[in-house]
Structure 1
């Protein structure tokens, strides 16, 4: 029987065997997440093309006149989206970009030309330093100056004491790789003031700025108003197909549109992405504060669940989440906890930890937890029960 099975499934089995253990585990995790009956968040981008298009067509008539002519090189619906974003952020203008990487490079090179200084002060864990293959220096002629590598937001004292001059300060709000952390409102205003004292402009990497209002207790326009320019994403918080916007003074945005063209970002037609962004602004944006509040309930229940399970050490970071995303740290090798998370999903159809686990030193793993609409269905008791089941899939905790 074994020989027959291997012969009948030879090509598929060979292909499967060529994948690394990490790739096979990744595929199992994604399959378990798709099939899970309960999960704290289900990413829309993981759906099929049919599902994504069906959802868009169901929601689009609520946000835009579908009988209008489609866009050409950034007019019509794209221009309407830009106007909507500028209104939400309280800026004079906004420009649509296909990616945030492009938007931020353009913004900061425009500021560098105006200040005469290509140095950009930023956190060592900020997106351009970690995820963009040195695009600032390799593509845009900018020079990153690291303020700190501590897993927290920069302080006003660090900005004042930075040993070299800089033309712009870039602040990532929230700082994703440090645990989606934010400063307090008072700390943020002090950091901005410190940059102004050094005659620098301030740019917010606000990919997830939409999520920050609950933590700061301020509306979007007041938060964005602290900066000279702001970038926001349409898919990281709003579940759009992609895309980003750069918002700021009208003169900066007009210059940025010129550079957008030079960078190849003036795309012929972008109406599906623009439509999905408008849907996100209409449907998801109002719900983000609720997600943040419930993420705090989930985080507290996770802490309690791990304590009840008798784990020797576990950490939820930040202890009280600043957004609806946060980190969980456990004292295991990443492949061990990743296997436990996948098996829980496969065996119970409950996916407590749906994101990958990364190693952060010997015997220490970290994952990101996201709480969105699906997570609102979970009570604290549900979370604690899921933690008990998850830890039952771990090796002995002694």
Structure 2
């Protein structure tokens, strides 16, 4: 790389860092947001919140955990009960949990091929970990912005030992199939003698869309992974749930992967708090996300935006995408100016490039978002669009 190229790359990196710092500062100072996730709080605030809530979910006079016992075992039993599985094992990350689950299934089926969506988390966000670390062979069933269909699974051109389904499929817009479609896909995989694994990082909030309890949804799969921080606002961590024999083998591989951490009680406590406090509220968040989505559509139409899309039109969970016909840099600057000047942050997630002159972002509705009425959203959209015009014309 030439000196000029290095300087250009350095300047670009500095610009990204400044934008990140500016966004974090604007979010912290904002009086109104649709979602205020715990990780955005200061360390002092997060520790204070845990100290306040933890006594309500676990006896703090009990000894601490060592290598996954005590409070960690309590959390594992709670997850297994919620999902209706024989057992569950705590993992520091979902990446580790799913690699291990799928390599365990490969040993049982004798087939290391994993069928999944082109937008599934391991394909997009894990640097080819399934093949590079776990020795598995991922194959893509479809790249359409929806879950695979039963026909696609049934007619796939080569054998596979496991079908992995991400529920909801985040990078396609947090989309879910219908209950009938899901049961048909699972049946199609079983017809091919394949096991079914759910990437259920956000499975907790799928009950509204499916109209089924968690244990019935999880019961369709042979194994399920769930996250403790994406929707439950924990410090981190994940769980793998399924048959006792699979979970026991997974614990062995967890040790080999370096995932049997000496003490994990802060993360386990925060997960228990999330199960107690956030899990029951998720249906409320999903319902209000649909109010917010409708108001966004109405607001962009009233503001005369030539083309705008909220996807899915009726969100399947409390998270969804917004697509607008402007350069993402313009949209990012307009969102920041709105937050800095009005203390209202309508769009707090970075804008990505969906194509030439097309920006896309994600919207999440949590407790703070429940305070917004449809009129509040429409007013914020009108102000945002005016700022987009200012930035674009500057």
Instruction: Tell me which interval the TM-score lies in, with the shorter structure as reference length.
Output: over 0.9
Matched, 1:66 2:60: yes
- 1:4 alignment counterpart: none
- 1:295 alignment counterpart: 289
Q: Distance in 2 between matches of 1:84 and 1:131?
A: 29
TM-score (norm 2): 0.96
In structure 2, the residue corresponding to 1:215 is in which secondary structure? helix
Unmatched segments (≥5 aa) in structure 1: 1-15
- 1:275 alignment counterpart: 269
Matched, 1:82 2:76: yes
- 1:246 alignment counterpart: 240
- 2:311 alignment counterpart: 317
Q: Distance in 2 between matches of 1:21 and 1:75?
A: 45
In structure 1, the residue corresponding to 2:241 is in which secondary structure? strand
In structure 2, the residue corresponding to 1:311 is in which secondary structure? coil
- 2:159 alignment counterpart: 165
- 2:185 alignment counterpart: 191
Shift of 1:20: 3.0
In structure 2, the residue corresponding to 1:196 is in which secondary structure? helix
Deviations 1:250-288 (A, max 9, x none): 010001000000000000110000000000000000000
- 2:47 alignment counterpart: 53
Deviations 1:15-51 (A, max 9, x none): x978533322222111111100100001110111111
Matched, 1:182 2:176: yes
Q: Where does structure 1 differ by over 6 angstroms across 4 or more consecutive aligned residues?
A: none
Matched, 1:149 2:143: yes
Matched, 1:391 2:379: no
CA 1:132–1:17: 2 relative to 1, 3 Å: closer
In structure 2, the residue corresponding to 1:272 is in which secondary structure? helix
Deviations 1:72-125 (A, max 9, x none): 111000000000000000000000000000000000000000000000000000
Partner residue of 1:285 out of 248, 262, 279: 279
Q: Distance in 2 between matches of 1:372 and 1:245?
A: 23
Q: Distance in 2 between matches of 1:382 and 1:360?
A: 27
Q: Distance in 2 between matches of 1:304 and 1:210?
A: 29
Q: How does 1:11-160 map to 2 (within 5 A)?
A: 20-160=14-154
Q: Distance in 2 between matches of 1:205 and 1:326?
A: 18
- 1:342 alignment counterpart: 336
Q: CA RMSD in A?
A: 1.3
Q: Distance in 2 between matches of 1:365 and 1:18?
A: 19
Partner residue of 1:308 out of 302, 319, 327: 302
Q: Distance in 1 between matches of 2:176 and 2:188?
A: 17
In structure 2, the residue corresponding to 1:360 is in which secondary structure? strand
CA 1:191–1:17: 2 relative to 1, 3 Å: closer
Total equivalences in the alignment:
383
- 2:325 alignment counterpart: 331
TM-score (norm 1): 0.95
Matched, 1:382 2:376: yes
Matched, 1:372 2:340: no
